[in-house]
Chains A and B, each alone.
Chain A
């Protein structure tokens, strides 16, 4: 990357609480870091773990999810169901070696414009310290590595000139 790296955080905000709080932060002209991009959903319960992983794999350095406080969900309990999913996802992320501060769940009510500002600034600061996650770049590197291996193995087999080249051909074709 030629440009100086800046964190990019994708946020999934629920319509009734967090998105409204972010609007309130705007109306109150509070200022916070620009590294955040909000995607609006009706409820935090709609957040599929795939969204989070997809965002990270497409280049996000962090993901922030905002929902209503427990007990306050506009749809009664959607936020609890997200919480369950999120706890499981956190373990998986840990196994994948992704730092805990990169994926964050916050309960922010419609009146808490200040909290939006604080959480965004905090998270951007933390992710800035952690550095780029850079998964798309990693995908590219791994792809190159795999290609390199595949070519190597193919050359070796061709040079071997024994029956194993014939036997292994179907495997090579899919490599």
Chain B
């Protein structure tokens, strides 16, 4: 049991902040200050407008010196916001920063209660608890955790690529792990990007090659992270490298094997082309894939039977490979373990499954496409060589593009996916260019928030694309007039014209929204992150810390955190790289010294604590028959403290006495 500070008299300086009107409107600050003034141990009690401001902080420093304070308590906003600030001020005033304690009377009081009397009473109770507690505070030193200089970037889309390049160019060693056979992510599938109509491949592939060639980047494609152990500065990550059945180091990407496969014609649905094209069992995802290495699909390759090697095929591919001998049917899954100090999660998004809205006919009518499928159709390197054709080979004369599919809807996804209006405009332009068809865009609102985005919309208006403001009710094939025979009819209320319309088209494009990846929950558990209520990864603070997570050392970049376009993704990836670099370049991270320690003379050697620590920080000395804690490993959860039967484990900053005194203080005020 810790005894109360024996350094003579306790002299507490108490400050209650008005925070402008935020606190003062509901809490009578001068009244609280007067109440606290009379409490034992309080040397001075003030109320002030803005404690976190420079004058506020200087006031603390001045008072410490002038009034010989040895404890400081500030009642204001949440410690999660400004505890660090005030500890700094306390330290600048000449006191150990851990002689400071903070009281939350804003987020937990003035902002959530409506009765001024009750709110003020509560503030007094909380202040009293802090006064009681702070007397027990000890001087402590901040912990320093060393940071391993290597970085792991999870996800090889544009976000992961940019983050990896930034860090690699700064001289850091980066592991880039990507689940698909090639990096590039969704951006590699696009034809042109808005609003400049840059070819996506043209701007992406140089970056992809640079990643592949960079000395500081270890690119593990067709691989997944399976386990993350450790903590900031010291992560141990397990990566599973899936077998391609091709040796990455030996394959030159000549693709002779594909040309000579026993399958003369490609037969299997091509994932990269959203199932619109076909590939052979041995394939490369797309021509500019990085790494330029083919892979074999064991589910359909004749040398396997449903994934198990039978070795019954002629293997013309091996013959074609010749001396390179890159094909290896015996290749096994490889498990790698790496140590990194920081991790950037850039796992991207998935598109909304249009089958969830049967009214739009996706999967029912063959000529209803998703936007991603159309990206592949208009793409010159797509399954139709850039020719926009219907499933039966005809060319569409009229195309309808439906905005907000799956988004802005209580029944599916509540949020706006941010990029769909822009890409729908882009597709309208590209489709008009490729087909000369009549194009109709059906929108709820036209959202064009970026640089040159509104101007892009103007251009589309001038090109003669028809814009109808209304939510499409259904896509149907029942014809009411002879002109509608054989067409897909979109029934929509044209809200600007004021009546319901039937628009017959040949092709319907659904602007499907962005959602979190299907395995987002499993992934975030692996990295000890949280998800927001919509399922995207949760940032530490939406405005002030949009790339940090609540777990130190783990950062977010790109659409995995929320729907965004390419410019914002690249900006965010750079931000995440910068945050990681802060830690790496500093070489260490300061952590709160809230570690646990064993009072050796009181330990009874019962060993109850040993299996409790997830960081294996507790060890048992068999000779002395006592437990002891490695404070470098301890993360300060306090579980062992609460479970020790003899009460011989204590936790700095959260001593039993400190908590008991808070309980006493909180209940002392009636």
Binding site for B on A (CB under 8 A): 3, 8, 10, 15-17, 19-20, 22-23, 25-27, 29-32, 34, 37-43, 45-51, 54-55, 58-60, 71-72, 74-78, 81-82, 85, 109-112, 117
CA of A112 to CA of B538, assembled, Å: 12
Give every chain B residue within 8 A of A54 (Cβ-Cβ): 660, 663
Contact (Cβ within 8 A) B114 A75: no
Contact (Cβ within 8 A) A55 B112: no
CB distance from A149 to the nearest CB of B (A): 29
- Residues 96 to 117 of chain B near chain A (Cβ within 8 Å): 104, 106-109, 111-115
Give every chain B residue within 8 A of A111 (Cβ-Cβ): 530-533, 538
Contact (Cβ within 8 A) B642 A32: no
Nearest neighbor of A19 in chain B, beta-carbon distance: B80
- Residues 619 to 659 of chain B near chain A (Cβ within 8 Å): 635-639, 641-643, 651, 654, 656, 659
Contact (Cβ within 8 A) B79 A58: no
Interface residue from B111, B114, B637 paired with A46 (Cβ < 8 Å) = B637
- B462 contacts the other chain (CB 8 A): no
Give every chain B residue within 8 A of A10 (Cβ-Cβ): 663, 666-667
Tally of contact residues, B, Cβ under 8 A:
51
Interface residue from B533, B637, B663 paired with A55 (Cβ < 8 Å) = B663
Task: Please list 9 pairs of residues, one from A and one from B, whose beta carbons are closer than 8 Å in the complex, sorted by A's number.
Answer: A10-B666, A15-B80, A20-B80, A26-B111, A37-B129, A39-B659, A43-B638, A46-B654, A81-B612
- B211 contacts the other chain (CB 8 A): no
CB distance from A35 to the nearest CB of B (A): 8
CA of A41 to CA of B659, assembled, Å: 9
Give every chain B residue within 8 A of A20 (Cβ-Cβ): 80, 550
Contact (Cβ within 8 A) B112 A29: yes
Give every chain B residue within 8 A of A38 (Cβ-Cβ): 104, 108, 126
Give every chain B residue within 8 A of A110 (Cβ-Cβ): 530, 538, 550
For A40, A46, A75, A112, the residue with the greatest tally of chain B CB atoms inside 10 Å of its CB is A46
Give every chain B residue within 8 A of A27 (Cβ-Cβ): 107, 111
Given contacts A10-B666, A81-B612, contact A45 B112 (CB under 8 A): no
Contact (Cβ within 8 A) B126 A37: yes
CB distance from A29 to the nearest CB of B (A): 6
- B670 contacts the other chain (CB 8 A): yes
Interface residue from A29, A43, A51, A109 paired with B530 (Cβ < 8 Å) = A109
- B594 contacts the other chain (CB 8 A): yes
Give every chain A residue within 8 A of B664 (Cβ-Cβ): 58
Contact (Cβ within 8 A) B667 A40: no
CA of A110 to CA of B119, assembled, Å: 24
Nearest neighbor of B107 in chain A, beta-carbon distance: A26
CA of A71 to CA of B531, assembled, Å: 13
Contact (Cβ within 8 A) B111 A58: no
Contact (Cβ within 8 A) A58 B663: yes
Interface residue from B106, B113, B635, B651 paired with A31 (Cβ < 8 Å) = B113
Binding site for A on B (CB under 8 A): 78-80, 104, 106-109, 111-115, 118-119, 121-122, 125-126, 129, 525, 528, 530-533, 538, 550-551, 594, 612, 614, 635-639, 641-643, 651, 654, 656, 659-660, 662-664, 666-667, 670
Give every chain A residue within 8 A of B638 (Cβ-Cβ): 41-43, 45-46, 78
Contact (Cβ within 8 A) A31 B112: yes
Nearest neighbor of A52 in chain B, beta-carbon distance: B663
Give every chain A residue within 8 A of B643 (Cβ-Cβ): 81, 85
Give every chain B residue within 8 A of A60 (Cβ-Cβ): 663, 667
Given contacts A16-B550, A34-B115, A111-B533, contact A75 B637 (CB under 8 A): yes
CB distance from B385 to the nearest CB of A (A): 47
Give every chain B residue within 8 A of A50 (Cβ-Cβ): 656
Contact (Cβ within 8 A) B114 A40: no
Contact (Cβ within 8 A) B666 A26: no
CA of A85 to CA of B651, assembled, Å: 19
Supplied contacts A42-B637, A50-B656, A55-B667, 4 more A-B pairs, CB within 8 Å: A38-B126, A49-B642, A51-B663, A78-B639
CB distance from B453 to the nearest CB of A (A): 30
Contact (Cβ within 8 A) A43 B639: yes
For B112, B551, B643, B656, the residue with the greatest tally of chain A CB atoms inside 10 Å of its CB is B112
Given contacts A27-B107, A77-B614, A111-B538, contact A42 B530 (CB under 8 A): no
Given contacts A10-B667, A109-B530, contact A26 B112 (CB under 8 A): yes
Contact (Cβ within 8 A) A40 B79: yes
Give every chain A residue within 8 A of B594 (Cβ-Cβ): 42
Give every chain A residue within 8 A of B111 (Cβ-Cβ): 26-27, 29
Nearest neighbor of A80 in chain B, beta-carbon distance: B639
Nearest neighbor of B658 in chain A, beta-carbon distance: A39
CA of A16 to CA of B78, assembled, Å: 13
Contact (Cβ within 8 A) A46 B113: no
Contact (Cβ within 8 A) A3 B670: yes
CB distance from A53 to the nearest CB of B (A): 10
The 4 closest A-B pairs by CB, nearest first: A26-B107, A46-B638, A45-B639, A75-B637
Interface residue from A31, A47, A74 paired with B528 (Cβ < 8 Å) = A74
Nearest neighbor of A48 in chain B, beta-carbon distance: B642
CA of A18 to CA of B115, assembled, Å: 24
CB distance from A107 to the nearest CB of B (A): 13
CA of A60 to CA of B659, assembled, Å: 15
CB distance from B131 to the nearest CB of A (A): 14
Contact (Cβ within 8 A) B107 A37: no
CB distance from B591 to the nearest CB of A (A): 12
